[in-house]
Amino acid sequence: MILAPLSLAETQAIMVSLKVAGLATLGAMPLAFGLAFVLARRRFPGKSLADALVNLPLVLPPVVTGYLLLLAFGRNGFAGQALSALGISVLFRWTGAAIAAGVMALPLMVAPMRQALDSMDRRLEAAAATLGASRWRVFATITVPLILPGIIAAVVLGFAKAVGEFGATAIFVSSIPGETETLPLAINALLQVPGREASALRLAVLSIAIAFAALVGAQYWQRRAARHRT
Amino acid sequence: MKFDVDIRLRRGDFSRHIAFQSDAAVTALVGPSGIGKTSILLAIAGLVRPESGHIRVAGRTLFDAAAGIDMPPRDRGLGVVFQDGRLFPHLRVRANLGYAHRASPVAIDAMAERLGLSALLDRWPRNLSGGEARRVALGRALLAQPAALLLDEPLSNLDPARIAATLELLAEASHSLPLLQVTHVLAEAKALGATVVTVAGP
């Protein structure tokens, strides 16, 4: 029944999803911030190319992204060889699922931070500099607090996207219950088996709850962060 | 020489030459609106880069194109009071006043007292009137213990009572450090007994 306690398999899928999405968001965040900063503030040759590359996972079929990841992290891929030298393999591991989710979430995390950087009043940074603040202090005490709503939006969008990622994850690390089988993969598996619709529906409701909680939480934190502005 | 400025500034399609020297306690750049007075102020503060020339304030060379000197704004030690205040919206008045590292809590309280801001220290900038915000901006700049104070239209949009109080403050500040004020109203410059530098059109 839909209200029955969660089965072990269902609990596993939730735990894997949270673990994968958590690591994906955490890992992608510094990269996304760096990219947002460089794309918003710097001019360099090949910038539009870099811009397009960041956004590529957004428009590419996820299956293609998963396949490219498989090539890169496979035994003969450049990333796979580098990692295997360190004794690490992400293939068929939840860490691999986090990589796939992180790559897919990256453009969604770059966009709100870049937009926040573009729209912030840079004259406030100049004012801080005239007060003797170092570049680092201006960044930490003016820039970051002022773009905080954008950073929060990036975390939430990235996390929600990572929880929902399906195609790239399925191709890259397959669907192994308890290891790489996230909520969407588990729902897909359940829908292939006759008589498991109730379980699929419960996981679907859970997915909705997680996404909803993330969005509501984001609104709250953004309001808090922007409370005293303008 | 307190201010020794001789620069070429690019504005849009043309560049213009600005040169003045002043050893007065208060120097005023006076000229009509939109003529680029603020750009001169920003260039002295290091926020706009001149094409050539030199800027010396209180005996220190801040910019010298020929010698390859271009000090970053944070090292120039100049207090800037922007026309729009530019208070940090995410910091309360106390934190705005104390943003410069050298400002101690005692100094902040004393400055707030002097500027009539003691009751406003826990306010957010968005809850300040224009005149209050201007005073916070002035206090914030003074608490950085600058070598000189640059003021962009310090009296504009203030009511008459506030103008008198602000003039008094600026006169007091001018005893301890040189002031450079930009204004389009000659009377405002006269009120501070400023040495007037007229900025003409291009």
Model confidence pLDDT, tens digit, residues B147-165: 999 999 988 877 888 788 8
Name the residue type at position A41.
R
- Cβ atoms of A174 and A182 within 8 Å: the answer is no
Task: Name the band, by pLDDT with cuts 50, 70 and 90, for residue A151.
Answer: very high
The strand pair at B195-198 and B26-30 is best described as parallel
In DSSP terms, B63 is beta-bridged to B55, B70
Distance from CA of A76 to the nearest CA of B (A): 49
Type of residue numbered A159:
F
Q: What is the mean pLDDT of residues B6-32?
A: 89
Give residue A223's pLDDT band: very low, low, confident or very high (50, 70, 90): confident
Count of A-B CB contacts under 8 Å: 65
Nearest CA in chain B to A147: B90
Name the helix (H) or strand (E) containing B18: strand B14-22
Question: Residue ranges of the alpha helices (H) in B23-155?
Answer: 37-45, 73-76, 93-97, 105-115, 130-143
Asked if residue B106 lies in contact with residue B94, where contact means CB atoms within 8 angstroms, the answer is no
Q: Tell me the C-alpha distance between B137 and B176, whole Å.
A: 18
More confident residue, A27 or B15: A27
Poorest-confidence range of A202-211, B30-39, B48-57? B30-39
Is A124 close to B140, i.e. CB distance below 8 A? no
- Report pLDDT digits (tens) over A82-104: 998 888 888 899 999 999 999 99
Mean pLDDT, chain B, whole residue set: 90
Give A30-47 pLDDT, tens digit per residue. 999 999 999 999 999 999
CB-side neighbour CA atoms (13 Å) of B167: 16
Q: Chain A contact for B122, CB < 8 A? A: no
- pTM listed for this prediction: 0.86
Strands B179-183 and B148-152: parallel
Confidence of residue A219 (pLDDT cuts 50, 70, 90): confident
Mode of pairing for the β-strands spanning B3-11 and B14-22: antiparallel
Cβ neighbours for B7, distance < 8 A, ≥ 6 positions apart: B17, B18, B19, B40, B43, B50, B51, B52, B53, B54, B55, B63
Nearest CA in chain B to A133: B74
Given a contact cutoff of 8 angstroms between Cβ atoms, the answer to whether A201 and A2 are in contact is yes
Dihedral over Cα of A47, A48, A50, A51: its sign: positive
- Residue B29's pLDDT is 93
Residue A230 has pLDDT above 80, yes or no: no
Of A132, A229, A230, the CB nearest to B74: A132
Scan for tokens 């035994």, then name that residue: A75
- Residue B50's pLDDT is 94
CA angle (B52, B81, B118) in 5-degree steps: 160
Under the banding of pLDDT at 50, 70 and 90, the label for residue A2 is low
Contact criterion met (CB below 8 Å) for A167 and A66: yes
Contacts of A46 (CB under 8 A, 6+ apart): none
Q: Chain B: nearest CA to A225, how far in angstroms?
A: 9
Quote the pLDDT of residue A6: 81
The token pair at B40 is 């001169």
Which stretch of DSSP H or E encloses residue B57? strand B52-57
Residues 6+ apart with CB under 8 A from A179: A16, A92, A93, A94
Residues 55-114 of B with CB under 8 A from A: 72-80, 82, 86, 88-90, 99-102
The answer to whether the beta carbons of residues A147 and A41 sit under 8 Å apart is: no
Pick from A71, A46, A86: which is nearest to A171 by CA?
Answer: A71
Helix pair A62-73, A94-119: axis angle to 10 deg: 120
At A95 the pLDDT is 94
Within 8 A of B46 by CB-CB distance, chain A residues are 129-130
Q: Using the structure block, give the residue that is written with the tokens 């409370």.
A: A227
* Cα–Cα distance for residue pair B156/B170, rounded to 1 Å: 14
**CA angle (A85, A91, A92) in 5-degree steps:** 145
Tokens of B12: 């849009």
Interface test with B, best of A120, A125, A131 (most B CBs within 10 A): A131
Please say if the pLDDT value at position A1 is more than 60: no
Q: How many angstroms away from the CA of A127 is the closest CA of chain B?
A: 7
